[in-house]
Amino acid sequence: MNIIICIKQVPDTETKIQIKPDSSGIVTEGIKYVVNPYDEYAVEEGVKIKEKFGGEVTVISLGPERAKEAIRTCLAVGADKGIHLNDPAFEGSDSYATAKILAKAISQIPFDIVLTGKQGVDFDNSQVFAYLSRFLDIPFVSVVVGLELSSDLKSATAKREGEGGDKEIIQVQLPAIIAAQKDLNQPRYASLPGIMKAKKKEIKNLSLSDLGLSPDEVGLKGSRVKIENYSQPPERKAGRIIEGEEPAEVCEKLVKLLREEAKII
């Protein structure tokens, strides 16, 4: 079983994001980077599949030199190999261009299933797995909270979150792309032996020329979406506490405020 897992290195969700003075991006100095939380569920599921059926887990990440740290983290919890897609030409790639780069790398190696997180917590686009499905010409299932592979490893049954919290059961032929939601499993922590072994595991570097892509297909030139500027969300106004001794008194004050100040009733 050849398992591919696409991961992304993102700012820690507890990091305070600051915008550059010219609004061209975020200030990267001092930011702590981590494996995208949803991708951690994909990694755990991939390792579980390998433990049950055998095979090999390859982690792929597109990003600058520091993205190797994220790949090493995944190798430490059970992945076997890493592929680092790193080239100045890749900078500025949107979801479409990113998926094209990933698809080129994945198509160079044998695979039976591709796992991803359902979205990155930085841009929250939730689009890469869908574009990847198009470029690889294989089906996908998103927001997956349960996954079972058939005994012959030719199909999978996925439980996914539907509208309103309902669960949907979808059977899909392999190879396929599975985009993980947080309830899929409980990611494990890296052990000390795992961390030591990760230092010796292979991370293959691939550039633009290695993938056979042209500069016009990647980066800003190959992107369908271009970000004009960044800005912080507007500050929310302070809330107001309505005081009163009796519920009826509080309700009366609330209704009056909604009618006279908010003007919504």
- Report if residue 27 sits inside a domain: yes
Query: Looking at the structure, do residues 162 and 256 belong to the same domain, yes or no?
Result: no
3-state secondary structure of 174: coil
- pTM, rounded to two decimals: 0.87
Query: Looking at the structure, do residues 51 and 170 belong to the same domain, yes or no?
Result: yes
Query: Looking at the structure, do residues 243 and 137 belong to the same domain, yes or no?
Result: no
- Domain of 246 in residue numbering reads as 238-265
Banded pLDDT at 72 (limits 50, 70, 90):
very high
CA distances from 216 to 8, 207, 224 (A): 23, 14, 12
- Report if residue 230 sits inside a domain: no
Number of domains in the chain: 2
Asked if residue 165 has pLDDT above 80, the reply is no
Residue 4 has phi, psi (to 5 degrees) of -110, 135
Query: Looking at the structure, do residues 179 and 108 belong to the same domain, yes or no?
Result: yes
What is the torsional sign of CA 209, 43, 181, 18?
negative
- Report if residue 231 sits inside a domain: no
Any idea which residue has 């044998």 for tokens? 110
- Report if residue 59 sits inside a domain: yes
Asked if residue 10 has pLDDT above 80, the reply is yes
Residue 178: its H or E element: strand 177-180
Query: Looking at the structure, do residues 210 and 135 belong to the same domain, yes or no?
Result: yes
Taking the C-alpha atoms of residue 32 and residue 66, their distance in angstroms, rounded to an integer, is: 11
Q: What is the CATH number of the domain that holds 167?
A: 3.40.50.620
- Report if residue 179 sits inside a domain: yes
Asked if residue 127 has pLDDT above 90, the reply is yes
- Report if residue 233 sits inside a domain: no
Residue 103: its H or E element: helix 95-106
Query: Looking at the structure, do residues 42 and 104 belong to the same domain, yes or no?
Result: yes
- What mean pLDDT do residues 52-67 have? 97
- What mean pLDDT do residues 12-23 have? 90
Query: Looking at the structure, do residues 164 and 255 belong to the same domain, yes or no?
Result: no
What is the torsional sign of CA 102, 190, 176, 96?
negative
Query: Looking at the structure, do residues 181 and 113 belong to the same domain, yes or no?
Result: yes
- Report if residue 223 sits inside a domain: no
Six-digit token string for 175: 């190879």
Query: Looking at the structure, do residues 116 and 162 belong to the same domain, yes or no?
Result: yes
- Report if residue 226 sits inside a domain: no
Query: Looking at the structure, do residues 161 and 211 belong to the same domain, yes or no?
Result: yes
- pLDDT of the residue at 111: 97
pLDDT digits (tens, 9 = 90+) for 197-241: 999 999 999 999 999 999 999 999 999 998 999 998 888 888 888
Strands 177-180 and 140-149 come out as parallel
Write down the H helix ranges in 160-246: 192-198, 208-211
- What mean pLDDT do residues 9-38 have? 92
Query: Looking at the structure, do residues 252 and 140 belong to the same domain, yes or no?
Result: no
Taking the C-alpha atoms of residue 143 and residue 157, their distance in angstroms, rounded to an integer, is: 13
Contact 206, 106 (CB under 8 A): no
Residue 49: its H or E element: helix 37-53
Query: Looking at the structure, do residues 183 and 245 belong to the same domain, yes or no?
Result: no
